[in-house]
Structures are given as C-alpha cells and as structure tokens.
Structure 1
C-alpha cells in the first residue's frame, strides 16, 4: 500500500531588524558552521553540550513515542491531537512531528560530535581521548537509533534497504543521499569499537564509557544476527564487574532513586531535579496522581494483553511498575495482586482497565521526573539469551532467562526447563522474547524485538488502534514484520530540501 505524501511549503523568515529574506532551511544533515575548538576546555564544553541535546523533549520524548508506542505493551485510551496518536495507530504522516524531531535532533548531536572528533587527534591526552570516545559513542547511538526508526530491520534483507545519510567530519556533500542500513550499522560498529579503545575513565551511567560502548555493540550485533559477537560483548559487560542486577525492594524502586546510584543502569539520559517537565514529561502520559489530568495526562495504559502475561504470577516484582487506578480514586502501589475495584475507561468500547505505568515517575520524589534508561544489565542478559537460543545453546539461554525471572521474585515452576517448555509447546526463543516483553516493557524495545525476528505485532485489546477498523468495535490490529508501516517516513521537510533523499514507501 502506497502511503500518500503530504507536501508542505517552505517559507522564508525575516532577519532581525530587516525585511530581507534568508535562504530556505538548511538540511539537518548540513555541517555546522560554528566557532572552532581551540582548547581542552572547549572540547569539554562541546561534549557536555552534545549530551544536553539528548535531554531535549524534541529528542528524548519524541524518540520514546517512536520506539515504544508502536508496541503491544501499551494501550492508548483516547485520541489525542498530538502526533503520538499516529505513532501508536500506525497512521504515519510524512510531516509527523515526532519523526521530524528525532531526525533533526539526532543530526544536531551528530554534527556536534563531528566537531570534537575532527579536532581531537587519536594520540592526544587521556582526557581528550576520553572526550573524543564519548562523542564517537554519541554519534554511534544516534545513527543506530536513526537506522531503527527510518530503515527496515537489518535481518530482513541483510541491511540492503535504505537507511539514513551518513555525515562524518570528513563529509563534503551538501545534500547527501541515504546510505544502506548495512552501511549505517558498519559505521556504528566502527565508531563504537574506536570509542571503547579511547575511553579509559570509569564514568557514571550519565556518560559514555568503555562498558557503555560494549553494551551498545552487544545490542547492535544482536540486531544484525551476529550471535557470536552479541555473546562476546555481553560477556564483556557482564564480566566487567561494574554492574549488578538489582533485587528485592531495590528492584521494585528501580526508577525512583538517584540514577547514578543505580548499579544496574549502564547508560541513561540524566534529568536533574530542576529539569522536571511536568505535563510534558514522558511519565505524564502514563500516570497521574489523583486521576486523569491532575499531575499528568494519563491517557496511555499498560495493555490488558500485557497485564494477562504479567498476572500469570502475582508474586512477580514487576507488578511494582504498574499502578492500577481504582474506583475510590486511589492508585494501588506497589501492585502485587489483581485489583478487584479497578476503574475502567469508558471512552473505549469495550471499557478498558486503567493500568497506570510508573516507570517514568517519582525519580527522587518528583512525580513526573525520570532519567530514561537506554541500556541496563538485564537487557544484556537477555541479549545473550536470545543469541544463545538462536545458536542452539538452549540451556545457556534458559539460564540467563531464569536469572532475570529469579531476581523478579519467581521460583519453582515459574522457572523454565526444557521439559516444561516442551509441555507448553514453546521454544526457547519464544520464552526469551516473552521475557524481554515482561522485563523491558515500556522502555522502547518491543516492536523492534518482534519485527527484527520477523514476527507480527498482534494487538487484541481495547485501544484507539480500533479506530483504524470498520467497525471500530473490532479491537484487533496486526502489523506484519514486512509491512511498510514498521518504519517511519523520512521527514518531508528534509525531502523538500534535499532532492537526493528518497522517501520510504
């Protein structure tokens, strides 16, 4: 199905104090023309400024909508004028605001990183090498995220489909064309390998370090189906001794403490207490203290499909990340058993339970403050489990899955053996992906995990996705891994400026 392209008109804008017309927008891929770097202090300031872009709502919030909302762990409970509804419903637009935001902010990070990478020679001081390594990591992270949003899964065609333009410190093209997904992944790996060699300082999880680069390499290799390398880099991170799985009450409070004190988080986008965005925060979409519209919008809930999976074991500590909204107006937290008096959202047919999500709330006691986690140790265990499952190392895979289940408070028959998998008619890969769904829910992994494994996304629960159907009381939605809609349009703003860019179908 060919999706219609909506064209926009570019207009000139006035220079301050004049009526002269400035040239039309520069493409986001254009190299920055800003003050040159001269000293180590300049490099440090430029690097900190590059991290700061990650915290912009135009990046962190929009990237969350692009990565989490296409999954099946959440249910949008009412339509919104915000483009996030299109992300959720798979009704993408060529001028979608969140895809445009991510494209522009990612290339802003890339251009800023390129300046430092070009300025710092490879044989400089340890401090300068560290900063250059951090910028290499940030550039790699941006390219990887861009390739996931705008390029098809690597596994579908070996990366031969169109990705995004690669703009490096040496790039001279004003209007670069799209590189293939494979070329983008190759650049990501090159940057991460070099970054890992250059970074020698054990910085906290707000910043890049050797282990952060290794952790992202683990994820990238898994997405490429290079299972040997995924296992190799998982081992490096797990055996580094820098991280440990949180347990018990510490795990239940995972997202509420001071981020750098968390021994499981490998890399997060740190937001200080002065950076609470209230209703513009990610968490405001999932949670509101006192009911909808009080401290947040609370328009997106945990799906009943996800809750059925979680409720198989009431003792599962991951219930702590769900706060059901009950009929007496009280949020149940921590949530460890099914709630009988849960409130239902009557805007949907059938009415749907209001399972609030609190993974993005109450950091350091502030209701809408959070530092979104990009990589954590549990993912690395599950990356290794998936790679081992695909290599036929089934017991190794089950050992890692059971390590995650055990720390979530599960034991006995809730842990997997080959015998109980055979009885249930499940493969080891099935339970690895199911465990990823449980453990990494609401963190932007689910749709990628399905599509890169050539599995369809199946929603069979109330949500605004039913508005795509006739009649709208049909609550099902299936998106095949080969569907055009599993990726987003290249922002039409960029297409209009750069004739060398081709649009996604």
Structure 2
C-alpha cells in the first residue's frame, strides 16, 4: 500500500489555531507550474524561502524555544501557561495535541518550495543568469532544504547515538513533489545521509561573499560541521570546523568577537555582527511582533521564558565572566520573587521590547565549540587543537581563565556550550545527543514538570500528529505515543 503523509503545520505557539499548508497557498508559494524564467524571479523566490523561515512557527519562535525550554537552563513561567513555550517546557505532547509549534508543516512547506525553485533552475528555464549566479541560488535552496530536514530529524527522531540512527526519523523530500505525493519516513541514519549530501553540494556551489540574512558557503559549512557532530562523524566535524575557522581567521570576513565587544554583538543596532554566519533578519516593517522571541523573553514583554535558578547560579560562580552581563534580575510583584532573564534579545531600552531583533541560527562561537567537542572525541592531534579552540571561547569570556588538558572533558565542553549558547536553541539537543540526563527540579521549576529527561523518555521526541494516520493507517507512531 502506498503510504501517505499530510504535511500539516500545527500553529499553536500563540494562537492555538491549526493551519494546513495544503489547504491554502500563501503569497510566497512557489508552485511547479509557476513561471520562473528570470534571475529576478529566482531572487524573489529565494527571498520567499527565508520569509517562510522568519515565522513564529519556525525560526522567529518555535525552533529556538524548543531547544531551550525543554532543557535545564531556561523555563517557561506559570503566568504564560497558554503558550507553546509552556507546553514545550511541560512536555505536553500527544498525537491528539502535538504542541509542535509548527515544527512539521512549516519546514516541509519550505522544503517543497525550495525544490520547486531548484526544478526551475535545473530545467533551464532561467535565461538571463550566469552559471555562477544560478549555482549560488541553488546552493542556498539546498542549504535550506538540509536545515529543514535536520530540524525535523532532531525533533521527531531519536538522537543518532542512541541506536546508530536505526530508529525512524522523518520523511525525506528529495525532489519537487506535487500535492498528491508524500514520501515515507526514513531512518535517522538515512535522514542524516541525505542532509549531508545536500550540504556538501551546497558548499560546492555557494559564494563566499557575505550575504546578510542568507546562506553563503561559510554558513553552509558551519551547518555541515554541526550535522557531522550530531551524527557522530567526529573527525569530519572537526575537520570541517577547523578548516572554516582557519579560513575566516585569514580573511576576517567573520571573526570571534573580543572580550570588550562581546556584549555589543547582541545589541539591537548591531545586526549581522562579526560572528553572525546566518541570521534570520527582521525589520521595523517585517517582523513577528509580540509573537517573536524577543518579546516573549523580555521582562517588560510577556516574560514567558526566564533563566532557571540553577543556570543563573552556575554562571555566577565566575562573576568576572563577561557573559554575566547578559543576565538581568527583576522583581515580580505578584509573588515578590526575583527572576533571572536573558538579555541577548534587547529592546530599544530596558523597559521597551523590540519586535525587530535578528535571530542568529549559526554563530562563529558555535563553530569553535564544535571543533572543541569533536577534537576531544577524536583525540590525537585534534585533541590539542580542540583544547585551543575551547580556550579561545573561555578566555574571551574571562581572560584569567584557562582550561588545562586534565580539565578538558566532555562535561567541560558542554558546560562551555551552555554558557555561550544559552537562548540560541542548543542545550536540550546537546544533552540528548550525548546521552546525558537533564535534571530540572528545585528553584522556580513548576511542580508538574518532568524532573528528569533523557533519550529513554518517550516524550524526548515529538509525536506524529494523529491526522497522519487517517491518510496512512500503516504509518508508525513514535514509541510510547498512541495514535489518537
């Protein structure tokens, strides 16, 4: 029997509504029959892909929040219990109410549009562009396809290290499909193989020119290093990250922000800063409004997500760490308690949230930490280089600190990742992919929150929406979840 999957988006981040991307065609839909015949058409279509990514249901909200509040460093607040960030935090997932925040339909919708764009390029419909121009746009589309599949795989599939990728991942869309064509779920290993192939192709096509708000070769290479790390290809992860760091150190197109400019890189007026390999761009006229991360995290916005007491105390163990300046404490008049808030997404002033913050998907600091983790796991000469990359991050934060060879452990690298990347959607995935247990208790954690989470807890992955089984009774649900 042919298996079918309806690519639905459950848009529950703030509105609680359900949207099917097969039921309506937004203005930036790219259909197979649409005429894309000029370079300008290609540019508009490509910008449309990024516009779809810049949604509350993906990288203006859901994807970052999923990776943060399901971990141990950030938590939802009790007074915002109607929001999806709260549902993530409480692991309120079921087939009937997936609470996926859009992490199914939105990525698949982008993937379909991207393949339609590539189809127009590959069939020779563009007559006024050079090969180099078309290669760059195709490379961008391939990188976007890879990123979407990667996010789907790590939210719906178990970590690769749990069973070497043998469990089910997600459907792989590998060509321009129509509304009546729906692929099967592949294994996690097959998903990663596909993602890597797309990124390797993208890296070979993309320009090295800085292209703010878009993928260039450096951004795609950084993403490839991340993907290698996730699927236990540690030598390749190290080599990819090491090569990228060395090239950027030579040309300085991007560079590691120094100690004195560290905080400034997150300023509202410092978009596309020195480390921002790929950012989701928002403007005064085109932004997620109150549904974006900056308003959700800001104390004078919704204050829907705060730092956990454990994380704030962990940071304050080193009061000279410059990253402490990104933590603010505020008194809540309702319970007369102080809450610690992340200040990476500042407003126009301390009491005025902004709607137009950019959100960094890939930052150069992460590349250093990929090299540090992969180098440790590989050992040998890579270990020595990896320790150097770790200390570049450690000493940038506090010049008086230094990690010795004896202190260079996986836990020490993960500690540095949590300090550096908090609020950027990494902590939950970092713990799971390394087989670690997440402990969430005490402090201001809510009582009904799961206190321990690891890759054996069935809700560590999202359920397949029950609507899928209407169209394909043979589809497998993720273990532990029912089908309705």
Question: After TM superposition, is the score higher than 0.5?
Answer: yes
Counterpart residue number, 1:189 = 196
Q: CA offsets per residue over residues 30-74 of structure 1, 9 Å max, x none?
A: 995552322222211111111110112122212222222101111
Task: Work out whether 1:168 is the aligned partner of 2:163.
Answer: no
Q: Is the 8 A contact 1:89 1:464 kept in 2?
A: no
Aligned length: 442
**Worse overlay, 83-92 or 206-215:** 83-92
Deviation at 1:25, TM superposition (A): 8.0
Counterpart residue number, 1:204 = 211
Counterpart residue number, 2:56 = 57
Task: Work out whether 1:408 is the aligned partner of 2:397.
Answer: yes
Structure 2 unaligned segments of length 5 or more: list them: 1-7, 11-19, 125-129, 480-484
Counterpart residue number, 1:17 = none
Distance in structure 1 (CA, Å) of the matches to 2:123 and 2:265: 38
Counterpart residue number, 2:230 = 223
Q: 1:100 to 1:174 in 2, by over 3 A?
A: farther
**Worse overlay, 385-394 or 171-180:** 171-180
Counterpart residue number, 2:147 = 141
Distance in structure 2 (CA, Å) of the matches to 1:484 and 1:260: 39
Q: 1:388 to 1:105 in 2, by over 3 A?
A: same
Q: CA offsets per residue over residues 448-474 of structure 1, 9 Å max, x none?
A: 1111100100113334542247xxxxx
Counterpart residue number, 2:17 = none
Match of 1:376 among 363, 366, 374: 363
Q: Is the 8 A contact 1:257 1:364 kept in 2?
A: no
Structure possessing the higher radius of gyration over alpha carbons = 1
Distance in structure 2 (CA, Å) of the matches to 1:401 and 1:90: 33
Counterpart residue number, 2:319 = 314
Matches within 5 A, 1:31-430: 32=31, 34-60=33-59, 61-79=61-79, 80-96=81-97, 98-99=99-100, 101-121=102-122, 125-169=131-175, 174-241=181-248, 242-258=253-269, 261-289=272-300, 296-325=301-330, 343=331, 353-362=338-347, 367-368=353-354, 369-393=356-380, 394-411=383-400, 414-419=401-406, 421=407, 428-430=409-411
Classify the secondary structure of the residue corresponding to 2:102: helix
Distance in structure 1 (CA, Å) of the matches to 2:204 and 2:271: 23
Deviation at 1:201, TM superposition (A): 4.8
TM-score, normalised to structure 2, is: 0.84
Classify the secondary structure of the residue corresponding to 1:216: helix
Match of 1:461 among 442, 446, 470: 442
Task: Work out whether 1:486 is the aligned partner of 2:460.
Answer: yes
Distance in structure 2 (CA, Å) of the matches to 1:435 and 1:300: 21
Distance in structure 2 (CA, Å) of the matches to 1:451 and 1:437: 13
Distance in structure 2 (CA, Å) of the matches to 1:503 and 1:99: 15
Q: Is the 8 A contact 2:230 2:433 kept in 1?
A: yes
Distance in structure 1 (CA, Å) of the matches to 2:423 and 2:136: 32
Q: Is the 8 A contact 2:32 2:116 kept in 1?
A: no
Deviation at 1:307, TM superposition (A): 1.0
Q: Is the 8 A contact 1:231 1:387 kept in 2?
A: yes
Q: In angstroms, what is the RMSD of aligned CA positions?
A: 2.8
Classify the secondary structure of the residue corresponding to 1:301: strand
Q: Is the 8 A contact 1:386 1:397 kept in 2?
A: yes
Q: CA offsets per residue over residues 99-148 of structure 1, 9 Å max, x none?
A: 15121110111011001111213996211111111000100010001101
Distance in structure 1 (CA, Å) of the matches to 2:32 and 2:118: 15
Distance in structure 2 (CA, Å) of the matches to 1:260 and 1:409: 24
Distance in structure 1 (CA, Å) of the matches to 2:208 and 2:100: 34
Counterpart residue number, 1:332 = none
TM-score, normalised to structure 1, is: 0.81
Counterpart residue number, 2:127 = none
Q: CA offsets per residue over residues 372-422 of structure 1, 9 Å max, x none?
A: 1111111011001101111234443332221101111341xx321135x3x
Classify the secondary structure of the residue corresponding to 2:49: helix
Distance in structure 2 (CA, Å) of the matches to 1:346 and 1:396: 50
